[in-house]
Amino acid sequence: MGHVIELRTPAEIEEMRPAGRFVAGVIEATSKAAAVGVNLLELDALAHEMIRKAGAESCYIDYHPSFGASPFGKVICTSVNDAVLHGLPRDYTLKDGDLLTVDFAASVDGWVADSAISVVVGTPREEDLRLIDTTRRALDAGISAARPGNRIGDISRAIADVAKAEGLSINTDFGGHGVGRTMHGEPHVPNNGRPGRGLPLKPGLVIAIEPWFLHTTDRIFTDPDGWTLRSVDGSRGAHSEHTIAITDGDPIVLTARG
C-alpha cells in the first residue's frame, strides 16, 4: 500500500489560512524577541502563551516520532549555532553573534501550518548572514518550482542549485513534507533531487518546503538531549521553511510573514 497523498479543495486551502497566519505570527514574535540575554525557555514560553491566547494546539509538545528519544515537551524548536534542526529549548541565554533558528508548527481549527526562520542575535558574522540568505533564496526557488506540471524532483533540484552555487553540500535525511490535518505527511520533499522525477505536482497539494544547510558539512548527529541535531564538525546551520499550497497558478504561501 502506498501512502495516500491528499489534495485539498480550494475551500479547504482557505480554511488553512488562519493556521498559516498564526504560525507566521509566532515565528515573527519569537524571532524578534530573540536578543542578547534572552533565554531559549523564554522564547518557548512566549510561543506557549500565544498558542493559549489563540486557542491553537501545539504540534510539538506531545510529538514522539521513531527518531525522538521521548515526547518533545516544548512548543517551539530553537536551534543555536551548530544546531540546525529539532532544537529542544533549554536553559541557554543567547549571546552576541549567536545564529538562532526558530521552527514552529501548530494546529488551528484542525489544520496545521509549519514554518522556520534563522536570525543572528546581536552582531552578525558575514558568513552567517550569507548562509541564512542562501536558505531563503533556496526556499524561494523551491516555491517557484511548485507548480502543476512539475514534480517533487523539480522543487528539490531548484533548492539544490542554489546551495551548490554557494559550494554547500546537502543532507537529504530531513526535508520538506506534506502538511494537512497533521504536521508530517506524504510526500517527502528532499532538498536535493533530479528534475522530472517523483510525485507529479497537482493543485491542492499542501507541502512544507524547508531548505537547511550547514557551512562546511552535510552530516549531523543527535545531541544527548535526544532531539537537537548538530553538525558533525561544529559548523553553523541555517534553515528557512514555509507551508505552501499548489494551485492552478502561483503557489499560495500560507505562512507568509508581514
CATH class as words, domain 10-253: alpha beta
What is the pLDDT, as a whole number, of residue 1? 39
What is the pLDDT, as a whole number, of residue 85? 97
Place of cell 497533521: 182
Is there a binding annotation on residue 114? yes
Q: pLDDT per residue over 33-82, tens digit each?
A: 999 999 999 999 999 999 999 999 999 999 988 888 889 999 999 999 99
What is the pLDDT, as a whole number, of residue 3? 65
Q: pLDDT per residue over 144-178, tens digit each?
A: 999 999 999 999 999 999 999 999 999 999 999 99
Q: Is the pLDDT of residue 110 over 70?
A: yes
pTM of model > 0.95: yes
Of residues 46, 31, 142, the one with CA closest to residue 79: 31
What is the pLDDT, as a whole number, of residue 69? 81
Is there a binding annotation on residue 103? yes
Q: Is the pLDDT of residue 2 over 60?
A: no
What is the pLDDT, as a whole number, of residue 67? 81
- Cα–Cα distance measured from residue 14 to residue 17, given in angstroms and rounded to the nearest whole number: 5
Is there a binding annotation on residue 215? no
Q: pLDDT per residue over 111-143, tens digit each?
A: 999 999 999 999 999 999 999 999 999 999 999
Is there a binding annotation on residue 250? no
The residues, ordered by sequence, that sit 6+ positions from 32 with a Cβ below 8 Å of its Cβ are: none
The residues, ordered by sequence, that sit 6+ positions from 147 with a Cβ below 8 Å of its Cβ are: 201, 246, 250, 251
**% of the chain with per-residue pLDDT over 70:** 99
Handedness of CA 242, 214, 130, 76 (dihedral sign): positive
Is there a binding annotation on residue 57? no
Radius of gyration of the chain (CA): 17
Place of cell 533549554: 90
List, as one string, the DSSP characters of 112-124: EEEEEEEEE-SSP
- Cα–Cα distance measured from residue 255 to residue 104, given in angstroms and rounded to the nearest whole number: 11
Q: pLDDT per residue over 193-247, tens digit each?
A: 999 999 999 999 999 999 999 999 999 999 999 999 999 999 999 999 999 999 9
- Cα–Cα distance measured from residue 211 to residue 133, given in angstroms and rounded to the nearest whole number: 11
Contact 226, 69 (CB under 8 A): yes
Contact 231, 173 (CB under 8 A): no
